[in-house]
Structure 1
Amino acid sequence: MARNAGRAGWDVIGHTRTPASRERARAQGIEVVDDLAQAVRGADVLVTVLPDAPDVSAVLLEDGALDLLDRGALVIDASTVAPAASQAIHEACAARGLTGLDAPVSGGEAGAVDGVLSFMVGGEQEAFDRARPLLESMGTTIERVGPAGAGQTVKAANQLLVAGHLQLLSEALVLLERAGVDPGPAVRVLGGGLAGSTVMQRKASNMLAHDYRPGFRLDLHRKDLRIVSDTAQQDGLSLPLTAAVTQLVNALVARGVGGLDHSALHALTRQLNGARDDA
């Protein structure tokens, strides 16, 4: 994301929380500093992309990133956190004369690399209009979906859809395999019909190769599904299929393979049906 913003002409200074990730960023030509204050002080826009709400709070509040910005600066949190946590970030920004947006992304590692992410944005229209040119350097689908926290609610819906698609694709592949059908042509024809999806386009070949190297880790998807479950519970909703796929993701993480890609739901589905050669 930082690389694509830089290529689009934005003056980007990056900071990450580990030396190893800073070196990876430098290797991609990104200007990276070792100190958070160096990256944040004087910035017109601060973009954060972190694993969970405690990480966002640690960087913005405990480490003082918000206090290093000048009044009027724009804070875009592209992390995936609970809507209530995102609303608290908006309030912390407003208390300091800053403008906040929640702008979680979808598209995975491939979408970030190719600059084709989807941004689902919560916040005021004026702030969204300011942010849009920057977001367009990193993504192709940019939508304001409502007020503060709305972006996170839409991201929760996105994550339950992705998990459901992954599990149903896993089950379809197992069905094909057990029936002795060549899955390559089958996936191509399914992908060209109503059953086709971006999940199928990006994940089917990896599943067929039993390649579960992480693009989006299971442990992060488990966190996202917890957000879905908590939000549903608060609103008194019954989401039975969401509950089922959440338990399957939980089972994989409990096995100690949370670092694998979420497409490893395929491995679990194969194992449930007698296979013994997967992760």
Structure 2
Amino acid sequence: MTQKNLRIAFLGIGLMGAPMTRNLLDAGFPMTLWNRTASKCEPFREEATIAATPAEAVADADLVITMLENGQVVEDVLVHQGAIGALKAGALVVDMSSVQPSLARELAGLVGERGAGFVDAPVSGGTVGAAEARLSIMAGGSEADVERALPVFGALGKCTRIGPVGAGQLAKLANQAIVGITIGAVSEALLLAAKGGADPAAVREALLGGFAGSRILELHGQRMIDRDFAPGAPARIQLKDMRMILDEARAEGLTLPLAQQTHNEYLSLVANGHSDVDHSGLLLELEHMNGALLGSLGRGPKG
């Protein structure tokens, strides 16, 4: 089947789903869209079909993409709202949400009973990566199923097949562990430097050229200095991911102390009313804990 007549059903037109849909439409894919809040589909009404239910959306789809907030929502949409039951034989379901590896395997079994394929393909890159079609896509599934999805992935970013179903979600958990812990490290480092009298912007600039340089320091370090916490990836989602990391660790008999501490800090951040700030807003919790603001700490050099 050629790209021109590969029909995609996209379920979840949110912060990530909207720019991904834009790129898929621009690549020429015919699409049917569904979102719980139907108004979010409106910008695409002239270019795509809008479905009233998930089951209606997937009925004629060759490939179904889900980009939803968490595993509970994915399960609700695919199982309880009847999407899996409406799949046509030979379809391919690609869940690009971040869910538990065990749920990915469970859904793959249910999809398989319908004679359809399943790939778990969570992404990294945030809303900027989604808009620029530069997402890092971590795919779990058979080689054949991942191969079938490559033309679609090519319009969204770069795909790496990690292994069988569930492996993509394990890679995403690894990604989110590094992201969450590193955001905490950058917050603490900039606050420490500023408290001692250094200019945090200059510290960030200096560190970018050394071994501590990272995308987190580059992008989120700047967000912290600018106090720009408009959500690309909301803190509540990072908290959800940290919780899944710890759940998976317990299931594997592992203790992950840095992930546990970072989880606790995000839990406090969300409990203090910041569920919808960007995950770089973990700085706010550190400032709350210390009773000080990053931008107003300079005391001059110590003598």
TM-score range, shorter chain: over 0.9
Aligned match of 1:219: 236
**Worse-matched range after superposition: 60-69 or 42-51:** 60-69
Conserved? CA contact 2:188–2:286, under 8 Å = yes
| Preserved CA contact (<8 Å) 1:2 1:30 | no
Q: State TM-score, norm by structure 2.
A: 0.86
Q: In 2, Cα distance between the equivalents of 1:137 and 1:220?
A: 25
Does residue 124 of structure 1 match 2:142?
Answer: yes
Per the normalisation by structure 1, the TM-score is 0.93
Map of 2:199 onto structure 1: 182
Match of 1:262 in 2: 279
State the Cα distance separating 1:187 from its structure 2 match: 1.2
How far, CA to CA, are the matches of 1:14 and 1:4 in structure 2? 14
Displacement of 1:17 in angstroms is 0.9
Structure 2 gaps of 5+ residues are: 1-19, 296-303
Higher radius of gyration, 1 or 2: 2
Q: What is residue 13 of structure 2 aligned with on the other side?
A: none
Tell me which amino acid in the other structure corresponds to 1:132.
Answer: L
Taking the TM superposition and a 5 Å limit, the aligned residue runs for 1:196-215 are 196-215=213-232
256, 260, 272: which is aligned to 2:289? 272
Report the equivalent of 1:79: 97
Q: CA deviation at 1:39?
A: 2.5
Q: Can you give the 5+ residue segments of structure 1 that lack an aligned partner in the other structure?
A: none
* Cα distance in 2, alignment partners of residues 271 and 53 from structure 1: 31
Work out whether residues 56 and 86 of structure 2, in 8 Å CA contact, stay in contact via their aligned partners in 1. Answer: no
1:7 matched to which residue of 2? 26
Partner of 1:112: 130
1:22 aligns with 2:41: yes
Tell me what 1:194 maps to: 211
Q: Can you list the C-alpha shifts for 1:25-59, whole angstroms capped at 9, x where unaligned?
A: 438x7525141344222111000011111211111
Structure-2 separation of matches of 1:167 and 1:30: 42
DSSP-derived class of the 2:65 partner: strand
Aligned residues: 275
Query: Which 4+ residue blocks in structure 1 deviate beyond 6 angstroms?
Result: none
1:75–1:100 contact (8 Å) kept in structure 2: yes
RMSD over aligned Cα, in angstroms?
1.7
8 Å contact kept, 1:169–1:200: yes
Partner residue of 1:241 out of 255, 258, 269: 258
> Does the CA contact (< 8 Å) of 1:22 and 1:32 recur in 2?
no
Q: Residues 159, 268 of structure 1: CA spacing in aligned structure 2 closer, same or farther, 3 A cutoff?
A: same
**Partner residue of 1:58?**
76
% identical equivalent positions: 36
